[in-house]
Structures are given as C-alpha cells and as structure tokens.
Structure 1
Amino acid sequence: MGLTQVLRMNGGMEEISYANNSLIQREAISLTTSLRAKAITNLYCSLCPRSLAIADLGCSSGPNTMLVISEIIKVVEKLCQEMNYKSPEYKVFLNDLYGNDFNSVFKSLDNFKEKLCVEMQTEMNPCYIFGVPGSFYGRIFPNKSLHFVHSSYSLHWLSKVPKGVENNKGNIYVTSTSPSNVLKSYYKQFHIDFSQFLKYRAEEIVEGGCMILTFLGRESDDLLSDGVCYGWELLATALNDMVMQEIIEEEKLNTFNIPNYYPSLSEVKLEVETEGSFSINQLEVFEVNLHALDSDLSESLAKGTRAVIEPLLVSHFSEDVTKEVFDRHRKILTYGISKERTKMTNLIVTLTRKS
C-alpha cells in the first residue's frame, strides 16, 4: 500500500486526535499572521479578483483547519471596506491526502460560516468550500485556477520513504549513526518532491498569484543540526527496546523509516530559483518555544507525536504493538526532553507567480 493511502493525522475528537494535539501547529500559524496579511493584501490590491480562489494544502482537521481561511477573508473584507470595493466571491479548496478526516471538517463548516458572518458584521459575498483529496506532489487543480495558496506544517512530509535507506538499521530517520548514503537519499527525495510541488503549483496559480509555505526546517546546512532529528531518535529508542525484548522483529524495525525532510533556508531557496516559476518575496526562520505552550511538555509532545505518526506505525507494526510503543515513548520523553533544547525551527517562504 502506498504512503498516500496510509499517511494521515489521527482523526476525530478523541484524546489522541490531531484536533486535540496540534498546539505547536497552531502557534506556528499564529506567529506568521502578519506575513500572511501582508501577502494577501499585496495580492488583492494587485489583482482585485471578483472571485478569489484560495487553497489550503495539507489542511488536516480540527480547530486549525479553517483558521487561516478565516484570517484571509477578514483581511480582504477590511480592504474592500477601506477601498469601497464590492466584496469578492470566495472559493476555498481544502486539500489533504485520502485518509484525512474530511467528515469532521465538513461538519464544522456551518459553524465556521455563521461565526465568520457575525465577526465581520458586514454583508459579504458567498464563500464556497470544497474538499480536494489527493497528493500535492501531483496536479490537483485546473490550470491558472488559484490566486492564493497556503500550506503549513505539511511540506516536510515527503511523497515516499527515500530509496536507498535500507542500511539505516536501528534508526527510523537520519541520525549521527546513519550511513552517509542515507542522508544523501533523504535530500534527493526532498529535491524531487519540492521541485515537483513548485512545478505543479506554477501551472495552477494565476500570474501574480501568491503562495505562502511554512514547514519545519533548519537554519544550518548540516542535516543533523538544530536538533531536528532528536524527536525521532527518542521514538527509535522505544522501538529498539522492544526489539531487544523480542516484542518487535528486528527486520520490521529495519524496514521502517519516517518520510520527513527538514530543509535548510539555502535548500529551499535553491529549489525555488532552480524551478524558476516563482520569485521569493520573503524567506525567514522563526522558532516555536515549546515550553511556552504547555507546562507538561513531555506529555504534550508524546500525544502530539502520536497524533501525527500513529496511523503510519499501525500500518507497519500493527495496532497492539503501536500502543506499547507510545507508552514507552512517553516515559522516555519525560527524561529525554529535559536534556535537550525545546525550540522548533521553522521556515516560512512567500512566493509570487512570475508573469
């Protein structure tokens, strides 16, 4: 079964759901509000579309899903009032992989529209919302059909586990003990995926349209820097302990690798400039301070990791084994997180589609 069929966040509203364990992602959205406001202001004042098409790629489900959409609409409505323009019609496209909990998203839309109307206190044109399942590493929209594309905490997920990492034994991601070819394979897969992403979005976004992307990354060009691998190392520790106790087969662990890549600023810049369809308006690093989000950080991180990665582990190891993995991971975090830096490095890039 391909990665696109099994990769998803935990759905629903249970204790271990993504909806209840996405504070880090929400904080990243909050910290980048001003950059999005600037981007949508520049776009709307430049193009003044009567029908504004917005896409959120990797929308997931839960309280964060409509947060950016609401924010964008409010900025545009305020601009219309200031310039005495008629409010545009809004077309909103919510994209994620096939296993995403779209049902929860759809059930929340009536409340979203009602709340938005109350908060705006003005009459606005209709807002049409569509679900678009599929991988953003391929084409998902018609030619030149989008004005504004947003994606947050999605593009560090690769389209598949890189080829050539079979010798990454005992690890589930790149670490200091990974063979050099493993690091090269991860970078190569990022290059393939991100260049494809840019190519297809260039076909779907109108000239002068905008794209703003936020993802986990690093400041340094060293893939092992900034502690980006540490979280997966702790999960690998739990899995290796279970191999030692013969709860998990060693071969099962050796064939499991996380399909993530956390790029550097220079790597993102290189891919954008090489693909050539977009100009870079801003490319910045910012950090999310984890201690500021939750007093019980180890518990919060344990639940957050589980909400993000559990479906992938279940598909590889089985549900019963996975539950024990996360019990052990939570205990390891209690000790391990106090020893390491507790800030997450993020990249944000604002792009404009060239003429």
Structure 2
Amino acid sequence: MRTEDICTALEGLTGIEVTVRDAGARVDVRVPAIDDAVRLAAERVARFRAIRSPNGAPAVEFVVSDDDGVRPLILVSDDVVCAPVDAREVLDSSMVYAVSDPPSLVAHSEMTRDAEALARACAGPGPKNVSGLAGSFLLLRCCIVGATRFGLRPVRAVAWWQRAWHTIGGDLPLPPFRSDARWEELVRSATESGLPSVPSDGPQQDGPAAGTDALCLEDFQRTAPALTFTRLDDAFLTAWKTHVRIAPGRLAGALLDGVEGGRARVALYPDGGGSIDVRVESAGSVHAVLQLRFPVGGEELAVDEVRIAEGSRGAGLFQRLMYNAEEVGRLLGVHAMTLHATDAGGYALATLGAYPRDPALRDAAGR
C-alpha cells in the first residue's frame, strides 16, 4: 500500500506523530501517550478502515500481512492495540502449552498495567497460585512479543515482567522460553533504565473509594448542573455513605467523560438501590438517552435503555456512553452488566466490542 494512503488514514487521530522513512517504504507512528512507536512497512499493509474505539474515539484498523498470514493493528490517539502471538512462538517445547480464554486483542497501556499488577501479585504476602502465575507470565510474554512484531518497544511492560520474574525466582511450571533477540534487547533496555520497585502499600483500589464518610450535602450540590441528585437530604446522605461510597465528583467524571452536552440525574433509595438517567442535548435537541439501574446489593448494573437520535449516530456517542457505563460499574464495584437496549442501541449492541472488524482478521482469530 502507498505510504500516502496510510498517512491519510491516520489524519483523524490527534496527538500522534507520523513520519515517512526509508524512501517511502515505512511509516513510523509515535504515540506519546504510551511513549512508544509503531513501525509499518507499507508493503505489508493490505488494507485499513476507519472505526471507533470502545470509548467512541476515532481509530484506524490496519490489516498487516506477515509470514503467518494477517495480523490486526488498531491505532487510537493515545494507544495501540494488537494481538498476542501464540504460546508456541515463545516457548521452547514440543509440548503444547496454552492460556485458557486468552484475549484476541490487547492494548499497549493495558499490557503495561497488567505487567505491573503481576509484579505486585508476586511481591504480595501469602501463598502463590503457581499455575495461575505461570499463565499470567506466559500471556504477558505473548502480548509483548506480539507488540514487537510492529516495531513497538514496550520497555516498561518488560521491566515489570522482569521484576515479577526475579521476585518469583522463575520457579513456575513452564518450559524454557525461546531465544528472541528482540526480547533480549528490551530486557537490556529495561535493566539499563532500572527495574521498577513495587510500592509496599500494595495495589491501588479501583472500586468504591474509602474516605467518603466526611461527605456532606454541599459536595453533591457542587456537581450541578452536570450531575444532580433527587431528594438531597440526610436520609440520602446516609444511604450514599452506606451503600455507594463514591465521591460525587468522581462519579460525575466517569459518567460524563467525553460526553459534550451530557447531564445526569441520580436517584438513590434507602435500601441501596438506585438509578442513573443521562441525557445528551444541545440547542433544545436530545441526542441520546441512557438509563442505568443498580439494584439492592450492588451485584450488577443494568442498562435499561439507550437511544441515539438518528442525526447523532455514527459519531461514537453510543460507544462512549457504554464505555462510561462500564466505568461507573467499576466504581460501584458491581460484578456484571446486563443490557436491555432498544432502537439504535439494540443494533449497536450486536457489534459492541467486536474487534477486529475486518472479516479476514476475525476469521484468523477464530471469532
């Protein structure tokens, strides 16, 4: 494919740096948000398509050919997504080792977070599940090697992987890893930069936040008009501190992030159940409606309704709302999301999270 076409495809992504090298034979795409760069040989790019990422942001999906067939590569403004390699490519063994239910695609940022989490788990107190740790080490190595296929150099992920490996002493039910010059070069870079240390206070908690006992009604009033609450009284405040335990500003940030013109209203009942209604409108026109419900017990977050006005479809608004709903569920500490969508949402839910989009890539991934 022509480098000019590749560069044109990337014009919709902000914050990246595109450079044509090797007399037009290669396109380098630096993504400052992850401090890494993709190196695309133009002759290996079979095709591409503009898509939307799960949070509704513009993205470009490339179909890249190699000796083993085709591989997906998805670029967004602040991340790169690619597929892990098969375990057989990283293990030096005639026996077949596999990770159960591996992801078909992994984001660069996610890979680094998971490597850090693995290092924390290895450094933590108590007995270790060596089989589970072996699977985590193997999967992360497959993800990192998959990223190197596109010229990425995830040094931080390798540094965390090495820290975890040193902590556990490599005493895991795994065969030796294959010799890999790219991996060894990344290990040298990680070592030269210094292996990261694991803080002694353990991992950060992503669920309902502690320290909300000091909340007062004024804290909830300050989020207006973007986020408002029904029946703001002492009974509401008691129920919130007992069952929800999230700072209202943090909830507003997760619920309305990236949603221009969004307004939300929360109802909370004394038993801990409640609902969240989101409306997106401008100039008197309603562009989208999202209705969420969290029953008593906080086990699930139900999406009761999601509607996108016809003139607002195709701009990533649906994906953004659903992405934010997942973030709210994470803050609430729920274990599942149930979806009961109609209208535009009913159709979009059929393809939500269905990546890669290219049929050949989906066939290659067995999806």
- TM-score of the superposed pair, with normalisation by structure 2: 0.26
The structure with the greater share of residues assigned to strand is: 2
The higher relative CO (CA closer than 8 Å, separation ≥ 6) is in 1
The structure with the greater share of residues assigned to helix is: 1
- TM-score of the superposed pair, with normalisation by structure 1: 0.26
